Amino acid sequence: MSRRVRDRKRLEGYLPPEGVPISFSIASIGARFGAQVLDIALTYGFIILLVYAMVTTGALPIEAMFALIMLCVFLIRVPYYILAELVWNGRTVGKRIVGIRVINAEGRRLTPHQIVARNLMKEVELFTPVTMVFTVDAMSGLGVLLTLVWVLAVLIVPLANRRRQRLGDMVAGTIVVDNPRNVLLPDLALSLPAQGSVPHVFDFLPAHLDIYGRFELQTLEKVLRDPVRGEEPPDFGQISRTIIRKIGYADPVRPGQERAFLNAFYRAQREHLETLRLFGNRREDKFHSAPGS
Amino acid sequence: MTDAVAEQDKRRTGSSPDSPAAPAPQGELLRSARFRVEREGHWRRLDELVVRAEKAGPASLSYDETRELATTYRQAMNSLSVARDISLDRALLDYLETLCARAYLVVYAPQESIGGLTGRLLSIGIPQAVRRSALPLLIGFLAMVLGAVAGYVLFTGDPGWFYTFVPPDLADMRTPEASVDYLRSTIYGNDFDAAETLAAFSSYLFSHNTRIAILIFSLGIFLALPSFALTFYNGLVLGAFFGMFAVKGLGYDVFAWLSIHGVTELAAICIACAGGARLGLAVLLPGQRTRRDALREQAHDAVKLVILAALMLVAAAFIEGFLRQLVQDPKMRLAIGWGIGALWLAWLLLAGRSDEKQANEARGGSAP
């Protein structure tokens, strides 16, 4: 299993029978905490609604009501998580909202045994310590110390291992990953509008294109895409001036044509680097010609 | 697939600055852009199928669609492999990486059907797991028995121990100071009348006991000691409780009273402890494997044990809620309690025998 870190994300790699390695990014602690909080809020909210509805309507005798509520309070603990993950293949309601899911750490089918095992441990990792924290006032010094050690031990485990597995995940052999979401953005080499008022011809010599590598090209691609809403549009003038200086581009680029220049440069640079790739020359970044690399 | 790649590009390096807004002729496209244009339809189709399979399960796809899923999945994997080598279009790479990851999960990690699962678990899984867990079961029952004996001996030595062991809300009014008549009335009393009250009581007990059982089980991971201690403590309570009635000459009556549900309920607690012990033993004595591997392997049987414990607790709660109050004759109580115990034993010892041989042979063949 290959282990890589890209973009500060922790990746877990798998090799399917097709022989093309694929990877999932491990869900962040924040996302998992959020999903857990959502699940708790939803389940307990459901109980409160149920009690409220039964008290206001008075449809059931008091004993039946008590029995029903006791049953529900039991069900929203471990059984809820087991059922939800069984039905939705590793996603509780909270996980669905946050966009994470449980997968088998071996990359195969998530078995019911794993779901049961990882959620049974929730009792020891979550419910009991939380209950103890709430009753900490009534405890002796030893009790407080025990609670503290317990909570710390449970919290440290997912922080201390690379795949952010909690105890239940280790027992069950599962990991929690970001549910991959995919959007196919348009190909810049096809869709870029010519923004200069006059179609202008920019010619690049091979020397101009030998400066940058893959990383710079993909950074430029990011910049050229329509900015995410709320972000300031990048300063194309500044970027194009920097590029012109670095690659030693001699022809003049008139003000107002920076965007068109960048588009043309992106296209030419990509074509150049892709051609080099075909011949086995993979230029990862601008340091490709530095000695020793 | 690779013909587009292998095709030599004769054009010289340089920009083709015709207006990109107008659809450029095929020959003018970058090789990687052409690659994308040719295959995009397949990817979008796969995307659709994957989204549907994720939402409603792979069963919602028709026969033809499932075949299509397999084909387009392989095409997309192929595209990903090629794109990693020839394309520097980040959007394309990211899209294919995530699409293939999602499709991989749909194709290779589909959902297990819940129906056949339960049947298999009851007829084969649980009984075999129990038969494989002799040592942990011994630990579980030993904890309970030792606790009970210690509780009884300590109580007969000094009744003051009762208050140390038994929590006040469990003891209620049943303390060593209570009169014989009162204690007898708690055994044979019928203060629960309406069936609804019984249902409420039994659902409360079930919820309470199951939580204890789950706790006993899951604490086993801390080297099995907390499981053992909790079960031992349960035994202490039991012993002290029994001793309190026994010294008043009510030993036989309380034994029958406890038997009717206790055989099932206490056995369930012991089995939960055995499940915890399996986890603890895996951490303590992992053998040749790493601790994590040992834990993962032991967890299979341990989880089955705890499911069994939960089932038994459901049964115990029903017996306790209904039968204990309805059946007053001590002989009947003994017969029902131990009879049900014998049924559990028969199920756990006899079920799933024929498959076990095959399973053992299969395991013997594959294990080093």
What does A36-53 look like in DSSP terms, one character per residue?
A: HHHHHHHHHHHHHHHHHH
Residues of A in contact with B203 (CB under 8 A): 67, 70-71, 74
Identity of the residue in A67, A180, A189 whose CB atom sits nearest the CB atom of B203? A67
Cβ-defined contact of B295 to A270 (cutoff 8 Å): no
Contact: A67, B112; criterion CB under 8 Å: no
Same domain, A60 and A173: yes
Q: Are B278 and B225 in contact (CB under 8 A)?
A: no
Mean pLDDT of the B163-176 span: 71
CB pairs < 8 Å spanning A and B: 228
Is A138 inside any structural domain?
no
Both A97 and A170 in one domain: the answer is yes
Q: Are residues A118 and A65 in the same domain?
A: yes
β-pair type (A100-104, A174-178): antiparallel
Closest CA–CA distance from residue B359 to any residue of chain A (Å) = 18
Mean pLDDT lowest for which of B13-17, B24-28, B257-261, B294-298? Answer: B13-17
Distance from CA of B243 to the nearest CA of A (A): 29
B210 with A221: Cβ contact below 8 A: no
Residue A22 to residue B90, Cβ atoms within 8 A: no
Apex CA B135: angle with CA B150 and CA B340, to 5°? 75
Are both A99 and A194 inside the same structural domain?
no
**Contact: B90, A218; criterion CB under 8 Å:** yes
- Measured CA to CA, the distance from residue A192 to residue A209 in angstroms comes to 20
* A193 and A116 part of one domain: no
Residue A139 lies in a domain: no
Residue (of B73, B100, B53) closest to A184 by Cα position: B100
Judged against a pLDDT cut of 50, whether residue B4 lies above it is answered with: no
Residue of A nearest to B204 (CA): A70
Mutating which of B214, B289, B308, B313 best tests the A interface, going by the most A Cβ atoms within 10 A? Answer: B214
Provide the pLDDT for residue A279: 86
Q: Clarify whether residues A67 and A105 are in a common domain.
A: yes
Average pLDDT score over residue span B132-137: 88
Residue B362: pLDDT above 60? no
Judge whether A256 lies within some domain: yes
Contacts of B57 in chain A (CB under 8 A): 89
Collect all residues of chain A within an 8 Å Cβ-Cβ radius of residue B87.
274
The C-alpha atoms of residue B231 and residue B265 are separated, in whole angstroms, by: 12
Of B99, B215, B292, the CB nearest to A123: B215
Q: What is the pLDDT of residue A227?
A: 67
Smallest CA–CA distance, residue B224 to chain A, in Å, is: 13
Cβ-defined contact of B199 to A218 (cutoff 8 Å) = no
Give the pLDDT confidence of A218-248 residue by residue, as tens digits: 888 888 887 666 677 778 888 888 888 888 8
A269 lies in the same domain as A169: no
Which residue in the set A16, A86, A120 is minimally distant from B218, CB to CB? A120
pLDDT of B46 reads 93
B307 has a pLDDT exceeding 80: yes
- The edge-to-edge listing of strands for the beta sheet with A22-25 is A5-6, A9-14, A22-25
Question: A161: which DSSP letter?
Answer: S
Residue of B nearest to A204 (CA): B14
Q: In this structure, are A98 and A236 located in the same domain?
A: no
Report the DSSP pairing between strands A22-25 and A174-178. Answer: unpaired
A83 and A193 co-located in one domain: no
- Please give the residue range of the domain that contains residue A253: 188-289
* Beta-carbon separation of A124 and B21 below 8 A: no
Kindly give, in sequence order, each residue whose CB lies less than 8 Å from that of residue B280, ignoring residues fewer than 6 positions away.
Answer: B220, B221, B222, B223, B224, B225, B227
Residues in chain B closer than 8 A to A16 (CB atoms): 77, 104, 108
Whether residue A119 is contained in a domain is answered as yes
Count up the domains in chain A and report the number: 2
Poorest-confidence range of A245-254, A257-266, B173-182, B207-216? B173-182
A253: chain B residues, CB-CB within 8 Å: none
Using an 8 Å Cβ cutoff, are A106 and A81 in contact? Answer: no
In chain A, pLDDT over 70 holds for what percent of residues?
A: 89
Residue B11 is predicted with a pLDDT of 35
Across all residues in chain B, what is the average pLDDT?
A: 78
A140: in domain: no
Residues facing A14 on adjacent strands: A22
Domain-embedded: residue A157: no
| B149 contact partners, CB below 8 Å, separation of at least 6 | B235, B239
Q: Across the interface, do A204 and B81 touch by the CB < 8 Å criterion?
A: no
Helix (H, G, I), strand (E, B) or coil at A129: helix
Nearest to B30 among A86, A194, A270 (CB): A270
Residue type present at position A80: Y
Of the partner residues A203, A222, A278, the one whose CB lies closest to the CB of residue B15: A203
Residue A178, phi then psi, degrees to nearest 5: -70, 130
Shortest CB distance from A268 goes to which of B15, B29, B218? B15
State whether B117 and A185 contact (CB < 8 Å): no
Chosen from A123, A163, A185 to mutate, greatest number of chain B CBs within 10 A: A123
Q: If we measure between CA atoms, which residue out of A163, A156, A161, A159 comes closest to residue A26?
A: A163
Considering the domain boundaries, does residue A144 fall inside one? no
Domain finish residue from A143, A178, A213: A178
The answer to whether residue A45 scores a pLDDT higher than 80 is yes
Residue A199 with chain B: CB contacts under 8 Å: 17-19
- Complex ipTM: 0.82
Q: Are residues A233 and A256 in the same domain?
A: yes
The pLDDT assigned to A199 comes to 54
Same domain assignment for residues A68 and A171: yes
Q: Which of B207, B308, B314 to mutate to test the interface with A (most CBs of A within 10 A)?
A: B207
- In chain B, where are the structural domains located? 28-108, 116-351
pLDDT in tens, A268-289: 888 888 888 888 887 888 877 7
* In-domain check, residue A248: yes
CA distance B202 to chain A (A): 8
Task: Output the CA torsion sign for B271, B276, B280, B282.
Answer: positive
- On whether the CB atoms of residues A47 and A76 are closer than 8 A, the answer is yes
Are the beta carbons of A278 and B86 separated by less than 8 Å? yes
Confidence grade of residue B193 (pLDDT, cut at 50, 70, 90): very low
